[in-house]
Amino acid sequence: MSSPVVLGRVSALVPLSVLLFGCSEPTPPAASAPKPVPAAVVVVDEEEVVETAAPEPAGPNGSPESETLVIEEAVESVAPSLSPQRVDELLTALRSPTADAKARIEAIDDLAELGADASPAVEPLGAAFADDEPAVRWHAARAVGLIGRDAIPAMPGLLRLLADADPVVVTQAAAAIGMIRGDDDRDAIPEADANAYASTVEPLVATLVHPDPRARRAAVRTLRRVSTSREELAKTVRKQLADADPIAVMPALHTLADMGGDAVPFLLESLDDPASRYWSEVVLAEIGPAAAPAVGRLTQLAQEGEIAERMQAILALAEIGPPAAPAVATVVEALGSSDASLRYVAAFALGKIGSNEADESLATAAASDDPFLAALASWARAAVHRDDAELVAAAAEKLRAGLADESPAVRNASVEGLSDLAPQFSAVDRQSLSASLVELLDDPVPAVGLAAGGGLIRLKGDAVAALQAALEQKAMRNDALEILAEIGSAAAPALDDMIKSLADSDPVSQSDAAFAIASIGPEAKTAVPALERILADESADASVKYTVAYALGKIGSAALSAEPELRKLVESEDDLLATVCAWASLQIKPGDRDLFAAAVPKLRRALQQERELVRLEAAIALGEIGPAAASALPMLELLAEDDPSGQVRAAAEAAVGLIRK
């Protein structure tokens, strides 16, 4: 099983097609589909360097994100000019031979706050692009971007930064180019400036295959601003992807998918190129309903070419859903194909598209001797007619039998089909299904266990009783706790069992129990005494204390009795523990201004942590602190623009607004 956060993300965001077909994508023509590889990223702020693993960006079905660039908003919201004398003072501080990196960054950030009024500083800021400290370089790039179109002379330096070894520097350089162009609202741009913008296209396209997702995202957004010809841009991008190492192609395409509907015109052109066709189909599937303009071309591709390309075209139509109704006749034809793989994806797609036109064909497939096809077709018929109790009952019976099938693919399809139809079941039937899914958590095929976990999460409160029973079994305890954590407040009936699990001898079980308690929130106040005891226990495992402190913070004001111990641990030599305790103290006593000075630097560093939840909570907490957290603005702006998680981007954007207010 996966970690709590990852498990929840998989169950909620991974397209059903991925889980149904063995948790992997079909093999593309003449090659195996390369799997994205997490890149080693060095994230730098003015105080420390932290090595992290860069997560892949969330797909378009994840949490909604704003298209507004927070840093660009800052251009319009900076304070009025404080006079040229102030600029001179800051430049003197920047150039001082005694200024350390922190002092240089402070001067650069103060210049950035002046926006266009800092235009006399463009050249000195450009000189800072060569600073030995990566943090100085990216702060300088940010400042130049905030100056706007008066910073066009810095464009060559920004282009050099696109090749920087530090991914944050690359990200800010790409974003700065976009900000400069976005600030240039002249009706007639002089030829020299137009050429400067045009010179950025190829280096930005090359950045599309950067190993870090933040750099890729920044490059995509900026390309949309600087490119004057979509056709030329598409041609350049296709060439770059064709020439790139195949291992870099999928991350780049995921980044394109993050553009949503804006990427569809480019992808339509890419469908005409055999070299990029398969991967374009993959991206269109990830985009989902917003890819509806591609239905006509995908319908054609579903009828011709290699099997892998036809399958992927049908899967893309499936993820587009009801808007793909014009393709139903073609998909029905594939349902009768002699190729089993085409039959499977066709049955799945017909259920996702939801058209009545396929009833007869699906009924025939549901009676097939092929158990996988029969399971998919049964689910598809019921999915199209969810109000038909007879069809839903027939599908449920077939799918329940499939849970015990010897084929992992059939078990997987049955789990997904049942959890999808569960809202149409009675409460008793949902609870019975939950018990069956719990038994599959330790399936010998991990994909089946993962699907079962996702199904239990979707069943929410109806799954709690079965998971409570699983807590009694040592081998299943951690999985059950992780799933209860994802269920959240609906898991409150299991609180006493979670508290009991805090006394487990296994630190992993203790941490999982604390995390599950945290997900319940203020209603978990009866867990405070047990959590306090662990926090005060000097022999307790550090990893357990992290989650215990987090749980106390999520309980909030009801955990007031724990606040003195948390406050004491804010001074811990364990920096992560100190950070979590500072955050938790603020959740319990949000108006405690005495804590701000100690908390802000720690929360600023937490914005760089690998774990999405840590970055999310830190961003929210900094926003709640307000103007006193102004020193975190540069990092929050970076996250708001380019964090791989849509949730973190939204939280960081909101925090920037609250701090500036």
In order, the DSSP letters of 321-347 are -GGGGGGHHHHHHHHT-S-HHHHHHHH
Q: In sequence order, what are the beta bridge partners of 43? A: 50
Whole-structure pTM value: 0.72
Cα gap 512→441, rounded to integer Å: 16
Chain centroid to Cα 6, Å, comes to 10
Phi-psi region of 354 (alpha: psi -120 to 50; beta: other; left: phi over 0): left
CA angle 425, 428, 433 (to 5 degrees): 70
In a domain, 450, yes or no: yes
Question: Residue 230: its pLDDT value, please?
Answer: 64
Query: What residues in the chain have per-residue pLDDT under 70?
Result: 1-83, 228-255, 258-259
CA 518/CA 524 separation, integer angstroms: 8
Give CA torsion, residues 224, 226, 229, 232, to 10 deg.
Answer: -90
Torsion of CA 208, 213, 214, 216, to 10 degrees: 10
C-alpha closest to that of 632 among 645, 641, 646, 621: 621
In a domain, 630, yes or no: no
Are residues 263 and 293 in contact, defined by beta-carbon separation less than 8 angstroms?
Answer: no
Q: Are 350 and 335 in contact (CB under 8 A)?
A: yes
Q: Which single residue is written with the structure tokens 């030829």?
A: 191
Cα 339 to its chain centre, rounded Å, is: 35
Query: What pLDDT is stored for residue 246 in this prediction?
Result: 61
In a domain, 436, yes or no: yes
pLDDT at residue 608, rounded to an integer: 82
Question: Which of 242, 235, 232 has the alpha carbon at shortest distance from 198?
Answer: 232
pLDDT digits (tens, 9 = 90+) for 150-165: 999 999 999 999 999 9
Instruction: Write out the two tokens for 437.
Output: 């899914």
Q: Is residue 477 part of a domain?
A: yes
Structural domain range at position 467: 425-487
CA distance 282 to 318: 12
Residue 440 resides in a domain: yes
**Residues contacting 607, CB < 8 A, separation 6+:** 615, 618, 619, 622, 632, 635, 636, 639, 652
C-alpha closest to that of 395 among 420, 426, 431? 420
How many domains in the chain? 1
Q: Are 353 and 321 in contact (CB under 8 A)?
A: yes
* CA 155 to each of CA 127, 130, 193, 205, 216: distance values in angstroms, whole numbers, following the listed order: 12, 14, 10, 16, 19
Cβ-contact 508, 474 below 8 angstroms:
no
Does residue 203 lie within any of the structural domains?
Answer: no
Q: Flag whether 69 is in a domain.
A: no
Give which of 301, 261, 303, 163 is closest to 219, Cα–Cα: 163
What is the distance between the alpha carbons of residues 359 and 201, in angstroms, rounded to a whole number?
50
In DSSP notation, 490-506 reads GGGGGHHHHHHHTT-S-
Residue 627 lies in a domain: no
